Amino acid sequence: MHAAQRTVEKDPPLRKDDWIIITGAGGFIAGNLALYFSRKGFTRIRAIDKKPLYEWYLRVPGVQCLCLDLSLEDNCRRACEGAVEVYNLAADMGGMGFIERFRVECLRSILINTHMVEAACRAGARRYFYSSSACAYNTSLQQDPNVRALKESDAYPAMAERGYGWEKLISEQFCQEYWHERGLKTFIARFHNVYGPHGTWDGGREKAPAAICRKIVEAIDHNDLRIDIWGNGEQTRSFMFIDDCVQGIDKITHCDRLIATPVNLGSSEMVSINTLVSKVERIAGVKLQRTYDLHAPQGVAGRNSDNTFIRQVLRWEPRTPLDKGLAITYRWIKQQYAIRKQGRRVGIG
């Protein structure tokens, strides 16, 4: 699992005017990452997404924003021109409703990472970050809501989530071999559900925390105090707040011990979906009547992040309490809902 025999040479210090490339930046996590690096004082950030610019959640002032389809090799080369660090977060993805229904689309994201890692290597980039997922883990270990937290070695023997999870696993392999064979320092984080402001909250690709916040805002607005929940509500997950996620990406990408070594990046605060609903109800100050859609997509029965490895290497792990992150997220979604109701444009992914 650990960075192998290849000698790790020390990089020159990263300068504030070195080019940082961030893909998928019209989306949730990469948009927040561009904001994070901009706030840290980096002056040459190139943000790329295939979505038209008016659909981006965040357009950070001073950041170069390009609209390019990165499943095409030439566009990846253009994206990586002058790159010192590359953060590849572009992927066709969504919540369970999306990834169970559009497996081909999810698998096709393999084109993005294949071309991006090659382009980054050719451009002479020093570091390459890849956003993998907990969906890469063996699904047979996630059949019970009281699941044991997943540690990095649980991805093998492989039985990833169909479509999306296998694409992540193969892309991880690309990253690992680009280090072993070609010397590109690659970094791989397996994200566990990320939530927070400036992400998808409607339209079919949203994940559980955003969907629940939106449904509660809607129920209050329509004065119809009911909520439908996908599955029986007993499925368990952990949820990482976006601020922890972007900080974690930075820490992982600048830790040579983690070269070509997948690491969990997630919260270890596991809750059931029912508990998640109760938390948002408390924030919103309502109590809703629940109905359960047992035929809706619901993914594995239980999943949590074992943070032993990240704690050991970085002496850090995501720590924002779910209650705190959810309150911030609920407020943002409520605001977006109000803006849309006034007929103004909001990004919905």
Q: Which residues bind ligand NAD (CB under 6 A)?
A: 24, 26-30, 49-51, 69-71, 89-93, 112, 131, 133, 191, 193-194, 199-200, 207, 349
The pair of three-digit structure tokens given for residue 304, joined into one six-digit string: 């949590």
164 as an active site residue: the answer is yes
Q: How far apart are CA 327 and CA 211, in angstroms?
A: 14
Report the nearest approach of ligand NAD to the CB of residue 194 (Å).
4
- Least distance to ligand NAD from the beta carbon of 165, Å? 10
Output 62 or 203, the one with its CB closest to ligand NAD.
Answer: 203
> Is the CB of 107 or the CB of 220 nearer to ligand NAD?
107
Provide the H-helix boundaries in 47-163: 73-79, 96-101, 103-108, 110-122
Give CA–CA dist 139/314, Å, rounded: 27
Work out how close the CB of 227 gets to ligand NAD at its nearest, in angstroms, rounded to a whole number: 21
3-state DSSP call for residue 81? coil
What residue spans of the chain are helical by DSSP H? 28-39, 73-79, 96-101, 103-108, 110-122, 164-182, 208-221, 242-253, 273-284, 308-314, 322-341
CB nearer to ligand NAD: give 27 or 163: 27
Cα 349 from Cα 345, distance rounded (Å): 12
Q: Which two tokens stand for residue 48?
A: 């790329």
From the CB of 5, what's the least distance to ligand NAD, in Å?
29
C-alpha–C-alpha distance, residues 24 and 129, integer Å: 13
Query: How far is it, in rounded angstroms, from Cα 60 to Cα 44?
Result: 12
Q: By C-beta, is 57 or 309 nearer to ligand NAD?
A: 57
Residue among 30 and 314 whose Cβ is closer to ligand NAD:
30
> How near is the Cβ of 173 to ligand NAD at its closest, in Å?
16
Residue with smaller CB distance to ligand NAD, 193 or 298: 193
Comparing every residue's Cβ against ligand NAD, the nearest one is 27
SS3 150: strand
Active-site residue identified among 130, 164, 195, 330: 164
What is the nearest approach in angstroms of ligand NAD to the Cβ of residue 317?
16
Helix axes 273-284, 322-341, angle to 10 degrees: 60
Please say whether the beta carbons of 22 and 48 come within 8 A. Answer: yes
- The catalytic residue positions are 164
